[in-house]
């Protein structure tokens, strides 16, 4: 199942499962260039687990290293992305994206008392559960059970998943005061909002002619401030981020369509096939034509 993003880069739970608002993903890294996913955000909670490799899970400006067996809980509306750092094959990285309504209705006393305080805590962007910590492994076992239930979808699997999610939130609620917190300044919040606006512009207009002024204008800031914002979060310039996304899109089109190289180039915003090919080889180490052959 592919992760769905809306026009604001917000990950969406597929409409056909809204009755039980939780989506299960696995092996997504295998389909991503260099096993790295774009930064995005969504109004849902997310839980992911490293299974075989070492993962760099970025939340905001923080980079969290997950070793095999470690899991991470990401709070709602947090800008985040993933990259595999080691491992001979893509890590399966099972993960779930879910609404708190999967545990209890948002109008219920349970949601208001136990889920809302976590969802609305600006100083709790994420929680890491290390496999070397006995207490954390209680939560990791619940996560593994959820992945199994979501994969098999056997009889009464929804109730089994709901029980495990309730157990995880009970652990978080009971240990809330002792969990590491991250103070976020107004400047950091504003920077993230600006970055989200500029990323939304890039993702929505990459096929067109896009300038640095266009990207900065999406957030109503100067070009120099846009540059500082991208360097702070993504360690690249706005134009480099645009090119990276165009190349990621080209990778997908080369794998999933029969478009010619010229058609792929133009549909991704490159108006010169030679320039597209040079940029593609520079980033991935092989030409677009070789990528298509590898994908057959």
**b vs e for 202-231, b when ≥16 Cβ sit within 10 Å of the residue's Cβ?**
bbeebeeebeeebbbbbbebeeeebbebbe
Contact between 23 and 14 under an 8 Å Cβ cutoff? The reply is yes
Q: Is residue 86 domain-shared with residue 219, that is, in the same domain?
A: no
Q: Give the number of domains in the chain.
A: 2
Residue with the bigger pLDDT between 143 and 8: it is 143
Among 131, 155, 178, the domain boundary falls at 178
Q: Are residues 152 and 244 in the same domain?
A: no
> What is the spatial order of strands in the sheet that 62-66 belongs to?
36-40, 80-86, 54-59, 62-66
Q: Are residues 190 and 171 in the same domain?
A: no
Which one has a higher pLDDT value, 32 or 243?
243
The pLDDT of residue 257 is 87
> How many angstroms separate the Cα of 71 from the Cα of each of 147, 151, 233, 270?
12, 18, 22, 39
CATH number of the domain residue 234 falls in: 1.10.10.60
Which domain-ending residue is among 157, 178, 199? 178
- Provide the residue range defining the domain that includes 256: 186-295
**pLDDT greater than 60 at residue 215:** yes
- Do residues 172 and 227 both lie within one domain? no
Q: Are residues 290 and 263 in the same domain?
A: yes
The pLDDT-based confidence of 68 (bands split at 50, 70, 90) is: very high
106 and 249 both lie in a single domain: no
CB atoms within 10 A of CB 19: 7
pLDDT score of 135 more than 80: yes
Residue 21 sits in the same domain as residue 108: yes
Do 265 and 195 share a domain, yes or no? Answer: yes
Averaged pLDDT, 122-133: 94
pLDDT tens for each residue of 249-279: 998 898 888 899 999 999 999 999 999 999 9
* The domain boundary residue, chosen from 125, 148, 178: 178
The verdict on 78 and 225 lying in the same domain is no
At 18, list the tokens.
């809204």
Contacts of 203 (CB under 8 A, 6+ apart): 5, 7, 9, 38, 245
Q: Is 0.75 topped by the overall pTM? A: yes
pLDDT-above-70 percentage for the chain: 93
Check pLDDT > 90 for residue 122.
Answer: no
The answer to whether residues 236 and 204 belong to one domain is: yes
Return the CA Rg of the chain.
Answer: 20
Q: How far is residue 114's CA from residue 112's CA, in Å, rounded to a whole number? A: 6
Q: Are residues 193 and 219 in the same domain?
A: yes
Give yes or no: residues 201 and 265 share one domain: yes
Tokens 């919040």 label which residue? 189
Greater model confidence, 40 or 115: 115
CATH number, domain containing residue 78: 2.60.120.280
The full DSSP string for the chain is -PPEE-TTSBEE--GGGTTS-EEEE-S-GGGSGGGEEEEEB-SSEEEEE--SSEEEEEETTEEEEE-TT-EEEE-TT--EEEEEEE-SS-----EEEE-GGGTS-TTSHHIIIIIHHHHT-TT-SEEEE-TT-HHHHHHHHHHHHHHHHHHH--TTHHHHHHHHHHHHHHHHHHTGGGS------HHHHHHHHHHHHHHHHHHHHTTS---HHHHHHTTT--HHHHHHHHHHHHSS-HHHHHHHHHHHHHHHHHHH----HHHHHHHTT-S-HHHHHHHHHHHHSS-HHHHHHHH-
């Amino acid at each position: 199942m592919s992760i769905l993003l809306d026009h604001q880069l917000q990950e969406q739970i597929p409409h056909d499962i809204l009755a039980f608002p939780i989506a299960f993903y696995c092996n997504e890294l295998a389909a991503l260039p260099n096993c790295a996913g774009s930064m995005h955000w969504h109004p849902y909670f997310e839980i992911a687990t490293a299974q075989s490799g070492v993962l760099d899970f970025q939340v905001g400006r923080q980079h969290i290293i997950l070793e095999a067996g470690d899991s991470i809980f990401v709070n709602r509306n947090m800008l985040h992305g993933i990259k595999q750092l080691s491992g001979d094959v893509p890590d399966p990285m099972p993960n779930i994206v879910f609404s708190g309504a999967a545990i209890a209705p948002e109008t219920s006393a349970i949601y208001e008392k136990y889920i809302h305080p976590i969802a609305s805590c600006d100083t709790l962007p994420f929680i890491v559960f290390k496999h070397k910590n006995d207490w954390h492994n209680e939560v990791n076992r619940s996560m593994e059970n959820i992945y199994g239930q979501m994969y098999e979808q056997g009889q009464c699997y929804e109730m089994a998943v709901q029980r495990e999610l309730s157990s995880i939130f009970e652990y978080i609620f009971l240990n809330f005061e002792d969990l590491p917190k991250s103070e976020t300044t107004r400047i950091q919040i504003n920077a993230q909002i600006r970055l989200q606006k500029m990323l939304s512009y890039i993702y929505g207009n990459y096929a067109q002619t896009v300038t640095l002024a266009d990207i900065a204008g999406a957030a109503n800031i100067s070009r120099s401030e846009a540059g500082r914002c991208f360097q702070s979060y993504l360690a690249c310039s706005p134009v480099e981020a645009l090119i990276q996304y165009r190349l990621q899109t080209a990778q997908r089109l080369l794998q999933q369509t029969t478009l010619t190289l010229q058609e792929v180039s133009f549909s991704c915003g490159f108006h010169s096939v030679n320039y597209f090919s040079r940029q593609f080889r520079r980033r991935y180490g092989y030409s677009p034509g070789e990528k298509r052959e590898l994908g057959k």
